[in-house]
Amino acid sequence: MSRGQSYFIISLIRNRTRQNHPNSQIRTLTVESRDSESKPDEHKPAPAVSYSEMAKTVSTIMRERQKWEQTLVFDFPSFNFADPLFLRELLKSQSNVLFTLWFFRWICSSFDYKPDHVSLNLLFGALLDARAVKAAKSFLETTTGFNPETKLLERYVTCLCREGLVDEGIQVYTLLKEKGAKPSVATCNSVLLGCVRARKLDRFWELHKEMTESEIDLKRIQYLIQALCDSGEVSQGYELMKKVLRQGLDPGHFVYEKLISAFCKIEKYASMSEILHTMIAWKHFPSLSTYHEVIQGLCKNKKPQEAYRVFNSLKERGYAPDVVLYTTMIHGLCEMRRFGRARKLWRELMKKGMRPNEFTYNVMIHAHLKRGEVVLARKLYGEMVRNGYGETTVSCNTMITGFCSFGRSEQALEFFKKMAERGVKPDAITYNALVQGFSKENKVERVVKLFKELKELGLKPSARTYAALQQLRNRKMCDSVATSLNEILEIA
């Protein structure tokens, strides 16, 4: 009896008695029938081993043995591993197709193996099913004489584009057309979607024009609208969406959100509002991130009342605004001097047990300083630090800018000096705020000193800082101070 046949007979018996031992199957590989010589039927052929059982055994050995190739050759010297039928059985048994690919590489290099077309297609298809695109690409490029079926090549195009390998996907798509194949609608759409995601918009429009024979379905329209938005043709995308709606079709959640985002960026809030209402009418519920864009856009466009209405309506619809959304709304209200409503939202945020982030604190601190409420601003700043938000350049700049904006430059300078003690590094915003603040108060010596520091540190004065210095230059001052001011302006 051969070593491999002995393995199967003994392992079937031992597996029943040693199931609790995790290594029992592997250990039986070293077992050999020692008493076969004394049996009268020693020349009787051993039972045939099915490819299915053998495939399961090989799968286990490949998973558990580092040098599985040596094990297979040593334990099963008479087994024909190069039989295409066995490769197909192994492909069914393996949970990881890459193991089958390794096995394929091994039999190609170790045996006189000529893979058949069916097996190659099955292995290539399995790699695509597993989304192992790079392995599939390598397999296709290194397997001599392999020409996959058209359907597999179409799936390959889709996988390449989905994984961001758009140029390769377009090459295979072009090859298909050159061979006379007519790519399916799904394949054409995958190429277009890949171009959109990779921001290859010129290529998108070239391919779209070439696809005149291909049917235009709803997915194609979705990708066209996305491409129009990304190309800056938002209004055309909106018109295309309206055509779809007039046909009684739903363009899809993504299309609405894409158009809303695009209109927010170009500050066309009337169109954005129309799409938002249409979206809700078609039973699509905007995400919090979409509402965030809408509210932020309305606040930037100085429409806090409309933004506040949208903010309240989303709460009525069952949404739970997060800290980011609350912060955006509070910031918009503070910028438009609706501090009463901003404070109300701040209290609501705290009542719901949400923890303000650093930006929320900075927004409220700046608002207090803007109103001249220095004590409240300092109190809130201290609370922010106690809550674990370490002092940063941004938070310190909020305090310094606030002090300087409202005639408290000496307090700003005091705060500035403490920055160094706390290991916080000032930046251009810090110095520009201080120079502008002291310029307003006509404290030229302070201005000259701070401006020189700014330049020595390699920081860039802002346009507002230059304007403040020019205004200061026109005021009356002693000759020595005027000379110092002229010197720094000339250097600048």
Query: Where do the domains of the chain lie, and which CATH numbers do they carry?
Result: 295-372 (1.25.40.10), 391-492 (no CATH)
To the nearest whole percent, how much of the chain has pLDDT over 90? 49
Phi and psi at 280, nearest 5°, equal -70, -35
Distance CA 468, CA 338 (A): 29
Interior/surface letters 271-307, b for 16+ CB within 10 angstroms, e for the rest: bbbbbbebbeeeebebeeebbbbbbbbbbebebbebb
Q: Flag whether pLDDT at 146 surpasses 80.
A: yes
Query: What pLDDT score does 250 carry?
Result: 93
Q: Flag whether pLDDT at 463 surpasses 60.
A: yes
Distance CA 427, CA 433 (A): 10
Report residue 468's pLDDT band, with 50, 70 and 90 as the boundaries: confident
pTM of the model: 0.65
For residue 56, give the amino acid letter.
Answer: K
Taking residues 146-152, what's their average pLDDT? 94
In this structure, the number of other CB atoms found within 10 A of the CB of residue 81 comes to 19
Distance of CA 304 to the CA centre of its chain: 31
Taking residues 135-142, what's their average pLDDT? 94
Structural tokens at position 381: 């700043």
